[in-house]
Amino acid sequence: MKNVICCRCVKCGREYPAAPDITTCECGGILDVIYDYEYIATKLTKETLRARTDRTMWRYRELLPIEESTVPSGLCVGMSPMYEADNIAAELGIAKLYIKDDGINPTASLKDRASAMAVTKAIEAGYDTIACSSTGNAASSLAGNAAKAGLKTYIFVPSRAPKGKIAQLMMFGANLTAVDGSYEETFELSKAAIDKFGWYNRNAAINPYLGEGKKTVAHEICEQLGYKAPDYVAVSVGDGCTVAGVYKGLYDMYMIGLIDRIPHIISVQAEGCCPINTAVINNEPWQPQEENTFADSIAVGVPRNPDKAINAIRDSGGICVNVSDDEIRSARRYLASKAGVFGEPAGVTATAGLIKLSREGRLPHEAVVVSIVTGNGLKDIDSAIQSVGEPVHCKNDLAQFEKLFF
């Protein structure tokens, strides 16, 4: 790979050649892919991007850790729409709000960006089986992308995962294990099985290439805004890979000169499970927490990527905000009814945080903000129906209809 220099440990700085199946550093630290930005800047310019017809995440392939000869595997991921939500911006008292809807990806979450990368690297490395543990979306996206790529999957989810995600997994033909325990226990079992059977590892953080897939959401935000960096990008945070990826994507675009500054990250977690935000706010090492939130995708008491996430929030001069489950519920309904974007609970948590910050007067009136919706609302319909209720019922009777609505 001409564009990649090495993989470097975020803890001890040790460097490794970027082998396609590399995992963590000897010291246990997470690896970061280091690029030759000078070289990339000669290849990836506004002009080359404008001429490109690829409408997937691979349009930024110079910034991605794959061989030049590699044909990407997996589904058509990325280039999700970004909507201007002027009505919401006006209500919140900010200049501009953009909703980046990553719930429209092929398996309906941002995780598709990591999974498309994972299956591509697994095939580069010559594996026929790939495995992961997940709160649900990484799993279902891996199962879908692997089905397309012709890889076998072994997948571990906590048994609390919502039915929509389980249905996807079963349909995509994953070898699925629903673990009776927390996400941490699910992760431990997957790790033991991967160690024993030697499958390609698509576990969050362990595999340094996953975040490189996720970062393409930030490349797209920059391109969709005509390379004018927004002031803030709001992200919901669980393991921390997404927020780290978003920062890396913004950093990439800055380093190759396509944006002139790096936006501030708004890191949003659930009040009932916020180990990363607690660490940043109190400026102390992170501590495990309970997983007390209905936003299942971010109910992560033991985050797998805390170092990269905390660095991303700090290096961007970011803001941390925690929201209650009620605030998530109300943001979910608000975003759907005001912008037409229906997210799953963790999918709208970033927007819930943004609403809270603006109500508390913590965002300047001239702020231009992007809020990323990370997963589609149909993933979890039980919790949606619980908060909006059942529809009115009516016979084929105009008089009855009139009584109901007028």
Task: Name the site residues for Zn ion (rule: CB under 5 A).
Answer: 9, 11-12, 14, 25, 27, 29
Using rule CB under 6 A, residue 236 touches ligand PLP? yes
Q: Which does 194 bind (CB under 5 to 8 A by kind): Zn ion, ligand PLP, none?
A: none
- The region, left, alpha or beta by phi > 0 then psi within -120 to 50, assigned to residue 188 is alpha
358 binds ligand PLP (CB under 6 A): no
Euclidean distance between CA atoms 350 and 348, whole angstroms: 5
What DSSP assignment string belongs to 34-50?
A: EE-HHHHHHH--HHHHH
Provide, rounded to whole angstroms, the least separation between the CB of residue 211 and Zn ion: 17
Query: Pick from 209, 229, 225, 243: which is nearest to 70 by CA?
Result: 209
- Compute the half-sphere exposure of residue 183: CA atoms within 13 Å on the CB side of its CA: 29
Stretch that binds ligand PLP, among 55-63, 153-161, 248-256, 340-348 (CB under 6 A): 340-348
Query: Could you tell me which stretch among 186-194, 224-232, 241-249, 361-369 binds ligand PLP (CB under 6 A)?
Result: 241-249
Cβ proximity to ligand PLP, 44 vs 352, nearer residue: 352
Report, in Å, the least distance between residue 80 CB and ligand PLP: 13
Number of Cβ atoms within 10 Å of the Cβ of 405: 7
Taking CB within 5 to 8 Å according to partner kind, which of ligand PLP, Zn ion, none is near residue 168? none
Residue at token pair 């991303």: 312
Of the candidate residues 213, 249, 347, 353, the single one contacting ligand PLP (CB under 6 A):
347
Question: In 3D, which of 214, 234, 204 has the Cα closest to residue 63?
Answer: 214
With contacts defined by CB under 6 A, name the span among 7-15, 177-185, 222-230, 236-244 that binds ligand PLP: 236-244
For residue 205, which of 232, 237, 235, 176 has the smallest C-alpha distance? 237
The Cα–Cα gap between 53 and 56 comes to 9
Q: Which two tokens stand for residue 72?
A: 């990407």
The interface partner of residue 220, options being Zn ion, ligand PLP, none and the CB cut-off 5 to 8 Å by kind, is: none
> 297, 312, 341, 195: which is closest to 246 by C-alpha?
312
For residue 72, what is the DSSP state? P
306 binds, options ligand PLP, Zn ion, none, Cβ within 5 to 8 A by partner type: none
For residue 79 the two structure tokens come to: 């280039």
Query: Does 297 contact ligand PLP by CB under 6 A?
Result: yes
- In the three-class reduction of DSSP (H, G, I as helix; E, B as strand; rest coil), residue 118 is classed as helix
Nearer to Zn ion (CB atom), residue 27 or residue 167 = 27
User: What does residue 323 show for φ and ψ, rounded to 5 degrees?
Assistant: -125, 150
- The candidate with the shortest Cα–Cα distance to 367, out of 140, 96, 142, 127, is 96
Smallest separation, CB 42 to ligand PLP (Å): 32
Residue 11 touches which member of Zn ion, ligand PLP, none, C-beta under 5-8 Å by kind: Zn ion
Among Zn ion, ligand PLP, none, partner that 27 touches (CB below 5 to 8 angstroms by kind)? Zn ion
Nearer of residues 107 and 358 to ligand PLP, judged by Cβ: 107
Q: Supply the minimum distance, in Å, between the C-beta of residue 143 and Zn ion.
A: 31
Give the contact letters, 178-207, x = binds to ligand PLP (CB under 6 A), - = no: --------------------------x---
| Residue ranges binding ligand PLP (CB under 6 A) | 109, 111, 137, 204, 236-243, 297-298, 300, 344, 346-347, 374-375
